[in-house]
Amino acid sequence: MVTAYDCAPGAILHTMSTSGSILGTRVLRTEDPKLLTIGGDYIGDLALEGAVHLQYVRSSVAHARLTGVDVTEARQAPGVLAVYTAADMDLAPAKPGMPFLNQKMRRPFLAIDTVRFVGDLIALVVGETKAQAVDAAELVVVDYEPLEPLLDLRASQTNANLLHEDAETNVVFAMPGAAADDTFADCEVVIEQVILNPRMAPAPLEPRTAAARWEADGRLTYWACGQGAHSAKDGLAKLFGLEKGMVRVITPDVGGGFGAKQGNTAEEFLTIWVARKLGRPAQWVETRTENLLGLVHGRGQVQTVKMGGTKDGHISAYRLEVLQDSGAYADIGAMLPFMTKLMASGTYDIAKVEVDTVSLLTTTTPTGAFRGAGRPEATAAIERALDVYAAEVGLDPVEIRRRNLLKKDQFPLTTPTGANYDSGDYVAALDQVLAAADYAGLRAEQARRRAAGDRNLMGIGVSCYVEITNPMGGGEHGSVEITADGRAIVRTGSSAHGQGHHTVFAMLVSDRTGIAMDRIEVRHGDTDDVPRGGGTGGSRSLQAGGTAVVTAADQVIAKAKEKAADLLEASVDDIVLTAGAFHVAGVPTRSLGWADVAASAGELKEEADLGPMSATFPFGTHISVVEVDADTGQVKIIRHISCDDAGVIVNPLIVDGQVHGGVASGIAQALMEEIRYDEAGNPVTSNLADYAFISSAELPSFERISQETPTPHNPLGAKGIGEAGTIGATPAVHNAVVDALSHLGIRHVDMPCTPERVWRAIQGAKV
């Protein structure tokens, strides 16, 4: 159980480890006092002198020909500086960013002749104020010739209704699986199940924003609400034909990203375009409805699983077929099945694994990365399949997992789908959670309730998961500079949007150098200050960014020892650093502080640019206990216990927070959250009154069990933790709901398990 502490703002809470290191201790986040008192530095609050404001006119129809866009009245509205349509664009439609996606499925910045989803951009209004731009946008008259919407993935696969006629197909990307005729031939038991992994809205607290200014020398300054300043800089330089040195990107405080803010969108690019066109700074801030309509959605898979093995529960064959909803344009969402395929076999020792995926267009918002990006979908599929299999052969869900889990002595290993697992102790994680939950006691209570005919049905769900972090194997940039007064400035190419980077990177440097944390400043998100960087995504920040920072710190220490040796008239080999002071070994009475060395050295700064780094594979087990009201279908989470092993932990307090957020998101997917469209392709979840965004009122106090299995792939021994809670939680809750209904003969309920769906399942079981 996570312990709560009551500390004054800005206090540093930690209990020093037995080694005397600050690492592994519960240090309060140094970012929080400012965020909770003064507030963060957000683009929406940026006061740019002379700035104009943008408002977009979006399609109100899912699929249609544009037969007319009349902007006459809008151009004459008070405060309006310009109104643009596709005819005014000098930017070519964008190709998909990844070369293996269908390159004929281009996306114009403003719709040329066809709109393909509700929210597609049609016109752009620029006003002296935001209010004036919004009012004028209402005056734009759009004439549509409706076309047939396309919502069903299997219908999309027939290519009968083409969204991009030039492409001659709706297939964005496919990875055919080798379906062998004899895959399941020797299996005593074979089960099949269709699983829906519904769309979710990333719904960051801060919606998308952008601001741009072209300087007198032709240089671009752009404020980005994203997850990587340097990738944005590179993309902007290419789009606008600039040398990279002519672009400065600043990423200030960002109110959440969750993967959805990894790239620049048309709305953001056009903010820059308008600033250049009008010769004035430009700003854009979207509304919540625009965010739900326009920001990429997550998940969106229809999965068909087939699993085979013996009557006593040993699994030998597994096949997963995935139809991925890519939305109306080819975006990163079409690539989600790549990660689903890679992680398909999960934590299990299965000899035969086959995966077949097809990513398809629909007349909906494009999909993209969202907290796990393909890995939660893989876990949802296999963990649900295991429960269906267990029910078929009459085994307890825990027992079937125990019989098939990979064992500790099998690592490192390569799975049948090519994932190179680094380290793991899956059985230990399962055992710890079972013990903490009192699993036997829970099953006994469930049996008692059923025997008594209790209408408050109890369900217990289990999920074992493994995921991949730093999946693309990217490196990172870091530097450490010692100032003349002995302070440290840490620069990182990683990008913070809520994870606690500043605290953790300061802890790492403090541990290495002995400089107190309150004398360490961590900087990120300004390409003029930090020269390079890979940004944040795929839970890579600590293992890549942290390793870069530690490497730079070690290099600074080595350089400082050389200078200290000169000052102390000793051999550099005899110089040691103890608690922030340099001295000759065995002679601590004569020492030099960092300020002494820095003042003498002139410049004391080192940079580290790490090349490609191996991915790591965090893992764990979640158990969720639910109660289902048999009369209403309402599901309530009673307990949620997890063991999330992310290797060596630098700050347990931050890990707790990351797991809490992830578990909340996972529970939300299982029970509540779903982006929905009606038959005409109209979104029916376009604001937070309709979209069932989860709150603390629907969540229990989470119980987290610590386990650390180091990775050999980086000197910290750390793996990622930002997405793990989501990956483990969803199938645990999903399985718990079905388990609560299993004695009624119910084998499956589609996610999200809303009261209506659960109630209908119960009513159907009575027939």
CATH fold, domain 471-609, is Aldehyde Oxidoreductase; domain 4 (3.30.365)
- Domain at 44-147+207-254+261-294: CATH architecture: Alpha-Beta Complex (3.90)
pLDDT over 80 (residue 388): yes
Which residues, 6 or more positions from 723, have their beta carbon under 8 angstroms from its beta carbon?
A: 371, 372, 373, 375, 376, 467, 469, 538, 539, 662
pLDDT over 70 (residue 124): yes
pLDDT over 90 (residue 387): yes
Report the sign of the C-alpha dihedral through residues 695, 697, 699, 700, in that order.
positive
**3-state secondary structure (DSSP) of residue 268:** helix
Which of the four pLDDT bands, split at 50, 70 and 90, describes residue 661?
A: very high
Could you give the CA distance from residue 547 to residue 648 in angstroms, rounded to a whole number? 13
Could you give the CA distance from residue 273 to residue 287 in angstroms, rounded to a whole number? 21
| CB distance 482 to 553 below 8 Å | no
Q: Would you kindly state where each structural domain of the chain is located, as residue ranges?
A: 44-147+207-254+261-294, 301-469+615-766, 471-609
Which of the four pLDDT bands, split at 50, 70 and 90, describes residue 5?
A: very low
Which of the four pLDDT bands, split at 50, 70 and 90, describes residue 439?
A: very high
Could you give the CA distance from residue 151 to residue 677 in angstroms, rounded to a whole number? 8
Query: How large is the average pLDDT for residues 452-466?
Result: 97
Percent of the chain with pLDDT over 70: 97
pLDDT number for residue 282: 98
pLDDT number for residue 730: 98
pLDDT number for residue 181: 77
Which residues, 6 or more positions from 687, have their beta carbon under 8 angstroms from its beta carbon?
A: 288, 289, 292
- Please provide the DSSP assignment of 118-142 as one string: TT-EEEEEEESSHHHHHHHHTT-EE
pLDDT number for residue 178: 73
Could you give the CA distance from residue 575 to residue 588 in angstroms, rounded to a whole number? 10
Could you give the CA distance from residue 101 to residue 360 in angstroms, rounded to a whole number? 11
pLDDT number for residue 655: 97
Which of the four pLDDT bands, split at 50, 70 and 90, describes residue 2?
A: very low
Q: pLDDT per residue over 637-657, tens digit each?
A: 999 999 999 999 999 999 999
Could you give the CA distance from residue 125 to residue 133 in angstroms, rounded to a whole number? 6
Question: What average pLDDT does the structure give for the chain?
Answer: 95
pLDDT number for residue 767: 54
Q: Assess whether the region 44-147+207-254+261-294 and the region 471-609 belong to the same CATH fold.
A: no
Which of the four pLDDT bands, split at 50, 70 and 90, describes residue 3?
A: very low
Could you give the CA distance from residue 501 to residue 498 in angstroms, rounded to a whole number? 8
Which of the four pLDDT bands, split at 50, 70 and 90, describes residue 343?
A: very high
Name residue 37's amino acid: T
pLDDT over 50 (residue 9): no
Q: pLDDT per residue over 476-527, tens digit each?
A: 999 999 999 999 999 999 999 999 999 999 999 999 999 999 999 999 999 9
State residue 392 phi and psi, 5-degree precision.
Answer: -65, -40
Which residues, 6 or more positions from 585, have their beta carbon under 8 angstroms from its beta carbon?
A: 574, 575, 576
pLDDT over 60 (residue 263): yes
Which residues, 6 or more positions from 343, have their beta carbon under 8 angstroms from its beta carbon?
A: 374, 375, 378, 379, 417, 419, 466, 467, 468
Q: pLDDT per residue over 202-249, tens digit each?
A: 999 999 999 999 999 999 999 999 999 999 999 999 999 999 999 999
Which of the four pLDDT bands, split at 50, 70 and 90, describes residue 180?
A: confident
Packing angle of the helix pair 439-452, 426-437 (nearest 10 deg):
50
Query: How large is the average pLDDT for residues 22-35?
Result: 95
Q: pLDDT per residue over 692-725, tens digit each?
A: 999 999 999 999 999 999 999 999 999 999 999 9
Could you give the CA distance from residue 481 to residue 529 in angstroms, rounded to a whole number? 12
pLDDT over 50 (residue 8): no
In 3-state terms, the chain is what percent helix, strand and coil (to 5)? 30, 25, 45
Lowest-confidence pick of 3-17, 297-311, 455-469: 3-17
Query: How large is the average pLDDT for residues 94-121?
Result: 96
Burial (CB < 10 A; 0-12, 13-18, 19+), residue 341, is: buried
Could you give the CA distance from residue 491 to residue 489 in angstroms, rounded to a whole number? 7
Could you give the CA distance from residue 532 to residue 494 in angstroms, rounded to a whole number? 9
pLDDT number for residue 20: 77
Which of the four pLDDT bands, split at 50, 70 and 90, describes residue 1?
A: very low
Per residue, the 3-state secondary structure of 611-659, as one string, reads CCCCCECCEEEEEEEEEEECCCCCEEEEEEEEEEECECCCCHHHHHHHH
CATH fold, domain 301-469+615-766, is Aldehyde Oxidoreductase; domain 4 (3.30.365)
pLDDT number for residue 16: 44
Which residues, 6 or more positions from 160, have their beta carbon under 8 angstroms from its beta carbon?
A: none
How is residue 297 annotated by DSSP?
Answer: B
pLDDT number for residue 19: 57
Q: pLDDT per residue over 737-758, tens digit each?
A: 999 999 999 999 999 999 999 9
The residue behind tokens 């953001």 is 268
Name residue 72's amino acid: T
Could you give the CA distance from residue 582 to residue 598 in angstroms, rounded to a whole number? 12
**3-state secondary structure (DSSP) of residue 178:** coil
